């Protein structure tokens, strides 16, 4: 990635690339209901919101590893398997901060929250990749995010 492209991505704000219309679920929703949301939306994660505030996120992996593998029924509440340790960014944060957080925490998606804790959107590795035109750059960046290597230090 050239210095100019690197700089342009560094100056972008999270709000410019995040997915804004995010399907969410209540912590009382069942594993079956959230699985259906994932299937219908072709997504691998659903933010869990209670009282207008983001309280967790559940991935397809959470459903399988913490739910199915532990014997939970499809009618179990999603709140029992959701991840509550959240790594978030704000809409006005720079994209590079989201990328850094993804690499540091080895996650593929970062919820975007407003100052009041409400969900504003979500940023996924795919959103970042779409901002890069060259397929080689996309592949390299996704690999670096997954491995935790900082892409902006690359020459």
For residue 22, tell me if it sits in a domain.
yes
Report pLDDT for 68. Answer: 85
pLDDT of residue 154: 44
The answer, yes or no, to whether residue 60 has pLDDT greater than 80, is: yes
Residue 7 pLDDT > 60 = no
CATH number at residue 88: 3.10.580.10
Residue 110 belongs to what domain range? 3-147
* Residue 53 belongs to some domain of the structure: yes
Instruction: Give the per-residue pLDDT at 140.
Output: 64
pLDDT class of 2 with cuts at 50, 70, 90? low
- Averaged pLDDT score across all residues of the chain: 85
pLDDT of 50 higher than 80: yes
Q: Is residue 54 part of a domain?
A: yes
Q: Nearest 5°: phi and psi at 134?
A: -80, 125
Query: Model confidence over 63-93: pLDDT tens digits?
Result: 999 888 888 899 999 999 999 999 999 999 9
- For the chain, the residue count is 155
For residue 37, being part of any structural domain is answered with yes
pLDDT score of 155: 42
Q: Is residue 122 part of a domain?
A: yes
Task: State the pTM of this model.
Answer: 0.78
> Which pLDDT does position 78 carry in this prediction?
96
Q: Which residue shows structure tokens 């935790």?
A: 148
Residue 25 lies in a domain: yes
Answer whether residue 154 is part of any domain.
no
Instruction: Specify the DSSP class assigned to residue 73.
Output: -
Q: Has residue 33 been placed in a domain?
A: yes
Q: Burial of 57 by CB count in 10 Å (0-12 exposed, 13-18 middle, 19+ buried)?
A: buried
Q: What is the mean pLDDT of residues 38-53?
A: 94
Check whether 118 has a pLDDT greater than 90. yes
Q: How many domains does the chain have?
A: 1
């Amino acid at each position: 990635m050239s210095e100019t492209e690197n700089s342009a991505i560094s100056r972008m704000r999270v709000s410019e690339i995040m997915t804004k219309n995010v399907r969410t679920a209540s912590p009382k929703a069942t594993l079956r209901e959230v699985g259906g949301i994932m299937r219908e939306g072709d997504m691998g994660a659903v933010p869990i919101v209670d009282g207008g505030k983001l309280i967790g996120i559940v991935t397809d992996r959470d459903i399988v590893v913490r739910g199915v593998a532990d014997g939970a029924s499809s009618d179990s509440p999603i709140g029992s398997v959701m991840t509550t340790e959240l790594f978030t960014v704000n809409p006005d944060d720079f994209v590079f901060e989201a990328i850094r957080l993804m690499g540091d925490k080895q996650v593929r998606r970062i919820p975007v929250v407003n100052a009041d804790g409400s969900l504003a959107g979500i940023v996924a590795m795919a959103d970042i990749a779409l901002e890069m035109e060259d397929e080689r750059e996309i592949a390299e960046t996704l690999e670096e995010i997954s491995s935790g290597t900082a892409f902006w230090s690359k020459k």
